[in-house]
Structures are given as C-alpha cells and as structure tokens.
Structure 1
Amino acid sequence: MEKSAPPAPTQTPFWFAFSTSSGFDTGSLLVICAIIICSVVAFAIIRRRKKRIQEIEQEEEDDREQKETEKWWHDYYERKQKLEEREENEQARREREEWKQAERREQEEYEQARREREKTRKRRQKGAHYDILGVPEDASQKAIKDAYRKLSLKWHPDKNKSDDANKRFNKIVEAYDVLSDKDKRKKYDAELEQ
C-alpha cells in the first residue's frame, strides 16, 4: 500500500506573504535587517569608545598636573636648601621669611587644588546628580525641576525607544529625587565635599 503525501499547509507564513506582496524577496529583507542591526551595534561601540577616550584624556590631564606640581615642589625645595646654605645675613633672613610665606601660600593652594581634583574625580565616579540634570551646584529648586521635566520628556522610555533610554531615565529620576529634597541634597553636597 502506497503512502500518500501529507496535505499542503493552508496558510502561508507571514514573512512570505509580506515579501511577495511588497516586492522584496526573503533574502533582501534579511540583508536589510542585518545592515540595520550592524549599524546600531557600530554606533553603540563608537559611543562607548568616545566616552572612554574622554575619560582617559581627563585622567592624563590630572596626571600631568600632578607631575607639574611635584616638579615645582622639587625645584622649590632645592632653592630653599640653597638659600639656607647662604651666609647668615639680613638679606638671607628676609628671603627666608618670604620663602616661608610663599611656602604656606603655595601649600594652601596646592591642597585646595588637590581637594578640587578629588572632588571632581568623586563626582565623576558617583555620576554627579548636578551633571546628570545639567544644573550648577547652586541651582534653585525651580531650575532643578525645569531641568528634570525637560530631560524626563526627552528620555522617558515610552517616548524614546533607544536601548539606554530606560537607564538614563532612571538616573534622571534618581538625581531629581536627591536634589529636590532639601535634606537629601544637603547630605549629598556634604558627601561631595569630603
């Protein structure tokens, strides 16, 4: 007894109907999809690399400033030692006093610059709520609220379908939550000052 062939399916797959009705064959659609996906992936990779390059450049700038400061202090102590080796006379004493005053001023300025660099580095590591909303540290509540509304409209996941929209929106909400509450904002500012 011979077996008969199975019955043909009654429905055609949706992609086949689409490709034949729109004039595209299946291979062309796959190529178009592959091109779009590759473009999106390439764009994401480029953005990540640009961000990393900016971070590296900032770190190099900080290192260069640190080396310049260390060189200045090295030269300063060499000059100070030479000054102390001179004969003890009135001119040398006055110069030593000037050096001591300059040393105190320079030490204070150096410490202030170091604290500012640390503060900037901490802010960069923490995500800096002020930077996320794009407002200065002394911004009013109204300015913070306006920035939040503008950014939340732009990055809300319902309106922006990009991959990182949800992540950015969550950061915006977190920043607004901290900066809109006076107590949380004071605590956050105190953490940045440390």
Structure 2
Amino acid sequence: MKQPETERFSSPEELAQHLLVLDLLAREGNISQRALGIRVGLAPTRVNRLIRELVGEGRVEVEDSARPYSYRLTARGQVYRRRLSLEHDQSVVQSFRAIQAYIARRLQELRAEGPRRRVPFGAGRIMEVTLPLARGLDLEVVGIVDDDDARQGQRRGGLVGPALREKSGRCAATRSSLPPSGTRSTS
C-alpha cells in the first residue's frame, strides 16, 4: 500500500514551510531563492534543495531565461499544494482541539481545588478558549491579570479594565464590569 507523500514531513512547521514556498511560487513565480528564503524563514541552502526536489518531482517548472529564475507550479504541483493545504488545515484544527482539551483538564483540576471564583493571567488568544470552558465548568472569572500595557482596559470575554497598577511592578489587574452575583458593587 502506497503511503501518502506528505508523511515525509518531520513536523507541522516543516509542512507549513513547504506549503508557504508552494503558495509563494504560485502567486509570485518570478522570485529569487534568497527572497523566498527570507519570506518563509528558511536558509538559502534549504530553499535550493526544496526547489530542486519540487522540480525533480515534476511539481515545479523553472524558466531560466530570466533573472531571478521564474518558477511555475505544474498541474501536479497545484494538486500537491491543495493536498498540503488540506493536511495543514487538519493539523491546525487537531492542535486547537488538543489545546482545548488541555485547558479543559486544567480547569477541571482548578475546580476540584475549591474556589469557583478565579482571576487568570493573560488576556490573549488562549483566554478566548478558556473563558467559555470555564463558564461551562461553573467557574466564575472575575478578572484577568495581564502585564501587556496594550491589553489594559480592553474588553475580553465581557471583562473590562480599568487597569489597577501595583507600585511594585508592571503587573496590572482588570476587574469585571459587573459585580459577582449576590454582591453589591462598591464602585
């Protein structure tokens, strides 16, 4: 039984780099290997080896009458690019689900520890996943602590600043715009 060609990638990053090269060649065929390497974050030797592999596999054609060389994806290369794109998308979704599962397990551990009211650290993208999971476990997020000045005072999952600064450090806390249920607001 023939194994899928994409199993040769040693990591999701390698798959993504390969896909980025194919995408750039499809959009901007007249690009130097040096510029390609800079845009994708690969060493020039790796770009050269990758281009030679793609040419050898019949996925890319090279027109060497121009400087820099002009690259064009063949029909086979276009099919390969679509297949890698699908695999990359599936990998991203799988990673997202793994992160969700990890966060859910961690929140269940916190719930078992006792207090239902929590103030997590970090108002970034992970908080977008954490807040709905916490609410589903009946954990009440009453504020968020974050040391990024750009996030201070922003609305995150219904939570807002103003930032409350401590004299001793850069850490700032945000508090809920609504008082917790069953309590009176002091503001």
Q: Same fold (TM over 0.5)?
A: no
| Greater per-residue helix proportion | 1
Larger radius of gyration between Structure 1 and Structure 2: 1
TM-score, normalisation: structure 2: 0.31
TM-score, normalisation: structure 1: 0.30
| Greater per-residue strand proportion | 2
